[in-house]
Amino acid sequence: MLAVLLFAPFALAQVPPGDVPASKPIEPPPAAKAALELGQRVRELQKKSTVLSTVVIVRDGTSYCEAIKQWTPTQRFPVLIDDNSIQSQENIARFVHAFAPETVVRFASASASSTWNANRDLIHDALAASWSAAGADPEALKAAWREAAHTPPGVVVANENDPAWTAALALAAGRGQLLAWVGDDLAPRDLHKWWTAEGVAALDKHLQDIVSRAGLAWSDLGDTIDAITVCSSLPNVFEITPKEARATMDRLGRLRPDAPNRWAWAGQVFGNPQEAAYRAMCGLFLEADSAWLFDSYPKSAPWSLFSLTQSKAAFEQVQLKTTIFETPGTSPALWRTEARKPLDTGIVFVNTKGNADFFELEGGLAYCGDLPWLLRPAAVHFVHSWSMQTPMSRDTIGGRWLERGAYLYYGSTNEPMLQGFTPCPRVAALLALGASFAGACRSDVGPTWKLTVIGDPLATVAPGARGTRVQDAPKLSNLSPVATEASVAVKGGDFAGALRSLVLDGNSESAAKLAAALLKDRKSALTPAAARVAVAPLFRTGRSQDAIACFRLTELKTDERSTDASMLRDLLWLSASPALQSRTAPPDKDTLNTLRDHLRPEQLDQDLIELSAAWSRAIDYSAALTMLETIAAKQTDSNVKKKTARAIEEFKKLRK
């Protein structure tokens, strides 16, 4: 079945589910073959290294470098960053849930500093040590690679002024890649700016020169260098003609922008230190055991070429437990019913239509805030338009997926048209067979287009590519078990610290029980800081009412727009979702008022529609309409006025 999915994807619309047309063996297309071979190289390297069953958490750049310096060609362990934000808390919790370590520890270097500025000396020392090189210079590293019979699969691009250097170090060390430093003059750090075609071409030529000087074959897929990993916030699109943009990650690694010939597949990692390190460590240490597929496309051509039923068959061939939702019936109501529960899966495929901030399902729309909360890191393949137009913005679908824990993402920066995507069955088959993520997703025909890869392009997701797990501890001094940290904090009455430590240790159940007990018997001990930590584990463990009660104790201001504040609002609405949809048990008045005070600007109309319907059931129609009209009267922005007007119009339809 995998061969059929891989080599004849455009015939699949005519193949009934479960049937495999008879055919003689077919040589895979060149790009597919190269993607499989590249994935195999990466997977073989990973299997050579034992993996310590310990997650190391650090708080500063020096400690991060020193921890990775303890990696060797035959032994590694994940290193994550806690910057005390809700986002880093949740990213670490996701990773720990998926990795299931024996222990989670903190490490602080004796020379720890408060800065995250890139220190090239420390970074190159760590890179050299991770391969047992005799020195930090490039020639010593090359000698170490020769000794290990290793050839670099790609080149990693870093900018010492960009915080994503944390990913660059991890991916250069973990995959044995060239590390190329660039400055703002060659690669400006402005993710959402339209770059120039000349600027992208200059960077590509610069990278070609680097690998050429290193004496490595690079000019064709299937030779030595087949990947470019950009660990920097350089522009994700560039202007190919006036007012016409293309994806930068689809231009890098091409010999010409107007032809399909590639010399490498590219992917981009950006964000603050903890985000970048998280995405790198997920690619290095995790693999999927399940897939979640949501297909809103009709079963007729050309939509059927993207059949997720066929994709499901590919994933199940390699024992990935796969859940699928498909037409008819893929409505916004079904999506929201599923998304109100945390999603525990390593692969997500969605087929839909829409714009940067919404996606169309059968009979209606869903929004960024309707995306599920991920329990574990996931690779997301999203067939849709515009989702990665502005990837650093949580007000876009792609940006929200990244915030929710996606570490790999393939999606559009513009309107790509359906045929711009590779048919999903072929992508699924390649991923199932162990191909690199970027190579599996990319089309091997046509000029530079509007689709981008976020994350490590070399990452693979199929099971069976990780080294043997061992319980030895990393050779680092001053290790502090996070579980012990939690016990000490409880005894000292530091419940914010205790709750956070429990979450980081992968013990959300104990964190939720502690928060619930404090809510019941010692509410005064739940300070705003403790309450902010508690909301997520309460939601994750199904304690929706306690999550809402804790949210009220956060003292979150209605106009606070930080990432943490916005994440907490999403958790509030996800926790309230079952009651909002209930015909018989709507939210109580306190919850209704809390939701009204914390409407989400990016989807104000949808929030008001759901809130007003529940308000009407809980109180009455007149009170709900008054609530809507009061909110509408306060708005001055024309776009916001349109959203409130739509909400009022939709609410009045309920009365009719």
Portion of the chain with pLDDT greater than 90, in percent: 91
Which residues make Cβ contacts (< 8 Å) with residue 542, sequence separation at least 6?
A: none
Q: What is the pLDDT of residue 618?
A: 96
Q: What is the pLDDT of residue 15?
A: 35
Residue 21 has pLDDT above 70, yes or no: no
- Please give the residue that has the higher pLDDT: either 27 or 107: 107
pLDDT above 80 (res 13): no
Only one residue has tokens 């907490």, namely: 568
SS3 for 407?
A: strand
Please name the residues in contact with 198: beta carbons below 8 A apart, sequence gap of 6 or more. Answer: none
**Is there a contact between 480 and 105 (Cβ–Cβ < 8 Å)?**
yes
pTM: 0.95
Report the pLDDT averaged over residues 290-312.
Answer: 97
| Three-state secondary structure of 71-112 | CECCEECCEEECCCCHHHHHHHHHHHHHHCCCEEEECCCCCC
pLDDT tier, 2 (very low <50, low <70, confident <90, very high otherwise): low
pLDDT tens digit sequence for 402-428:
999 999 999 999 999 999 999 999 999
Q: What is the pLDDT of residues 389-402, one digit of tens each?
A: 999 999 999 999 99
The predicted model gives 61-70 an average pLDDT of 97
Please give the pLDDT value at position 28: 78
User: Is the pLDDT at 5 greater than 80, yes or no?
Assistant: no
Q: Is the pLDDT of residue 20 over 50?
A: no
Tell me the pLDDT band of 115, cut-offs 50, 70 and 90: confident
pLDDT beyond 80 at 23: no
SS3 for 251-284, per residue?
HCCECCCCCCCECCEEEEECCCHHHHHHHHHHHH
Angle between helices 495-504 and 528-540 (to 10 degrees): 30
Alpha carbon distances (Å) from 28 to 314, 429, 507: 16, 12, 45
CA-nearest of 76, 30, 83, 88 to 49 is 76
Convert the pLDDT of each residue in 425-480 to its tens digit.
999 999 999 999 999 999 888 999 999 999 999 999 999 999 999 998 899 998 99
Tokens of 230: 């950009």
Beta strand residue intervals within 401-493, DSSP E: 406-412, 451-454, 469-470, 480-481
- Return the half-sphere exposure (C-beta side, CA atoms, 13 A cut-off) of residue 609: 16
| Residue 527: predicted pLDDT | 97
- pLDDT tens, position by position, 602-648: 999 999 999 999 999 999 999 999 999 999 999 999 999 999 999 99
Checking if the pLDDT of 587 tops 50, the result is yes
Is 150 exposed, middle or buried (CB count within 10 Å of its CB: 0-12, 13-18, 19+)? middle
469-470 vs 54-58, strand pairing mode: unpaired
DSSP string, 176-193: T-EEEE--TTTS---TTS
Q: How confident is the model at residue 4 (pLDDT cuts 50, 70, 90)?
A: low
CA 286 to chain centroid, in Å, comes to: 13
**pLDDT attached to residue 25:** 54
pLDDT greater than 80 at residue 18: no
Predicted confidence at residue 655, as pLDDT, reads 76
Give the DSSP H/E element, type plus range, for residue 156. strand 154-158
Is it the case that residue 26 has pLDDT exceeding 70? no
Instruction: Return the higher-pLDDT residue of 567 and 654.
Output: 567
User: What is 2-28+286-461's CATH number?
Assistant: 3.40.50.1460
Asked if 266 and 250 count as a contact pair (C-beta separation under 8 A), the reply is: yes
pLDDT of residue 95: 98
Question: Using an 8 Å Cβ cutoff, are 42 and 458 in contact?
Answer: yes
**Average of per-residue pLDDT across 53-81:** 97
Residues 6+ apart with CB under 8 A from 341: 372
262 phi/psi in degrees, rounded to 5:
-110, 150
- Cis peptide bond upstream of 328, omega within 30: yes
Q: Please check the confidence at residue 14 and state whether its pLDDT lies above 50.
A: no
**Does residue 87 register a pLDDT over 90?**
yes
Residue 564 has a CB neighbour count (10 Å cut-off) of: 18
**Residue 17, pLDDT above cutoff 80:** no
Tell me how long the chain is: 656
pLDDT by residue (tens digit) across 336-391? 999 999 999 999 999 999 999 999 999 999 999 999 999 999 999 999 999 999 99
Q: Tell how strand 154-158 and strand 227-231 pair up.
A: parallel
On the question of pLDDT at 164 being above 60, the answer is yes
Query: Can you tell me which residue has the tokens 């997301």?
Result: 380
Residue 112's pLDDT band (boundaries 50, 70, 90)?
confident
Domain segments of the chain as ranges: 2-28+286-461, 582-656
Mean pLDDT check: name the lowest of 48-52, 255-259, 293-297: 255-259
Cα gap 370→358, rounded to integer Å: 9
Do residues 382 and 350 lie in contact, with contact meaning Cβ atoms separated by under 8 Å? yes
For residues 290 and 321, the answer to whether their CB atoms sit within 8 Å is yes
User: Between residues 113 and 656, which one has the greater pLDDT?
Assistant: 113
- Cα separation, 277 vs 495, in Å, equals 27
